[in-house]
């Protein structure tokens, strides 16, 4: 099936590289370099899509909300003159809010507690209503922190950036970008059941442990650790917002229904370091 990938950034580009080149089109803000040749179009705020839509196709939407109403998503949907058979949306596990370390599944209620997660809940509802009115399957992949090549926080470690001491740290939830790509490809298949999927590696060791493992594998000094009180003085508001929520994200459905067996964080870090 032809696939339209809206958003050709860190994850979207890799999905384009995984799918058959003759059956995919990437829409992004700028042209991207790739090891493979596939069709891509620079597209942002145009009044129409730069391609004629086939009678049967799927959409992968990777773009984060541009504001609290996600006008970019609304505009994109308005341009789909022919409804797709399926939309796959990359959302966030942040929609569950602060669960004080409790386990959350796809059946857990959403309770967004930050300005970053509230638009995500609204986007999921917008898509559910839009797809419901058009007999279009919707798959929502709720993703945690995405890491991979260029996204290990090595620069911060090299500059002596601190991490929370282990006793103050929350459970970790993360996924390697290439495992997220595998989830996207599986979810785009017409045989994958529609619905919500939590995605992640299932390893809940803390961000403190993860930073230490990155430092170890990259042959860097062990990160400096600080208390939450000190973190309030040193960390950025966005980083503090992540620390305000604690949960353990259950990914059983991803494994059993989508058939994805993600790599361990040790392997993911090793796969992400420069050769």
Beta-carbon count within 10 A of 238 CB: 9
In contact, 28 and 38? CB cutoff 8 Å? no
In contact, 200 and 173? CB cutoff 8 Å? yes
Share of the chain above pLDDT 70, in %: 94
Query: Does pTM surpass 0.75?
Result: yes
Distance CA 196, CA 88 (A): 10
Q: Which region, left, alpha or beta, applies to residue 88 given φ > 0 means left and ψ of -120 to 50 means alpha? A: beta
Q: Does the pLDDT at position 187 exceed 70?
A: yes
CA distances from 13 to 32, 47, 144, 216, 244 (A): 8, 23, 19, 29, 31
How confident is the model at residue 143, as a pLDDT?
A: 98
| Tens-digit pLDDT profile for residues 65-95 | 988 889 999 999 999 999 999 999 999 999 9
How confident is the model at residue 51, as a pLDDT?
A: 78
Distance CA 14, CA 186 (A): 14
Q: Which region, left, alpha or beta, applies to residue 74 given φ > 0 means left and ψ of -120 to 50 means alpha? A: alpha
Helix intervals (H) in 69-221? 71-78, 118-132, 154-158, 177-188, 207-217
Residues 6+ apart with CB under 8 A from 102: 247, 248
Q: Tokens for 44, please give them.
A: 């942002």
Kind and range of the H or E element at 197? strand 195-198
The burial class, CB within 10 Å (0-12 / 13-18 / 19+), for 62 is: buried
How confident is the model at residue 221, as a pLDDT?
A: 96
Mean pLDDT of 206-217: 98
The mean-pLDDT minimum among 20-34, 135-149, 223-237 falls in 20-34
| Tens-digit pLDDT profile for residues 31-56 | 666 666 566 666 666 677 877 888 89
| Tens-digit pLDDT profile for residues 230-253 | 999 999 988 888 888 999 999 999
Q: Does the pLDDT at position 150 exceed 80?
A: yes
Specify the CATH number of the domain 2-152+173-205+247-270.
3.40.50.720
Beta bridge mates, 87: 59, 138
How confident is the model at residue 48, as a pLDDT?
A: 76
Mean pLDDT of 197-224: 98
Q: Does the pLDDT at position 267 exceed 70?
A: yes
In contact, 249 and 104? CB cutoff 8 Å? yes
In contact, 7 and 22? CB cutoff 8 Å? no
Q: Which of residues 150 and 243 earns the better pLDDT score?
A: 150
How confident is the model at residue 192, as a pLDDT?
A: 98
């Amino acid at each position: 099936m032809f696939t339209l990938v809206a958003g050709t950034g860190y994850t979207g580009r890799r999905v384009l590289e995984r799918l058959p080149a003759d059956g995919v089109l990437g829409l992004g803000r700028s042209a991207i370099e790739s090891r493979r040749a596939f069709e891509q179009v620079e597209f942002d705020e145009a009044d129409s899509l730069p391609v004629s839509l086939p009678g049967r196709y799927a959409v992968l939407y990777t773009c984060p909300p541009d504001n609290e109403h996600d006008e970019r998503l609304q505009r994109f949907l308005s341009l789909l003159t022919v409804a797709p058979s399926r939309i796959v949306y990359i959302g966030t596990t942040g929609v569950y809010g602060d669960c004080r370390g409790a386990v959350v599944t796809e059946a857990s209620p959403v309770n967004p507690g930050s300005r970053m997660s509230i638009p995500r809940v609204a986007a999921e509802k917008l898509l559910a209503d839009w797809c419901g009115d058009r007999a279009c399957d919707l798959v929502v992949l709720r993703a945690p922190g995405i890491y991979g090549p260029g996204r290990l926080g090595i620069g911060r470690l090299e500059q002596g950036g601190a991490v929370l001491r282990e006793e103050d740290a929350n459970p970790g939830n993360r996924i390697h970008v290439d495992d997220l790509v595998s989830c996207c490809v599986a979810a785009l298949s017409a045989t994958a059941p529609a619905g919500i999927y939590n995605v992640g590696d299932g390893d809940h060791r803390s961000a403190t442990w993860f930073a230490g493992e990155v430092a170890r594998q990259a042959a860097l000094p062990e990160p400096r650790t600080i208390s939450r009180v000190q973190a309030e003085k040193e960390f950025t508001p966005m980083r503090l917002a992540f620390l305000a929520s604690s949960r353990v994200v259950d990914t059983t459905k991803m494994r059993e229904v989508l058939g994805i067996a993600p790599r361990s964080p040790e392997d993911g870090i090793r796969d992400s370091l420069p050769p």
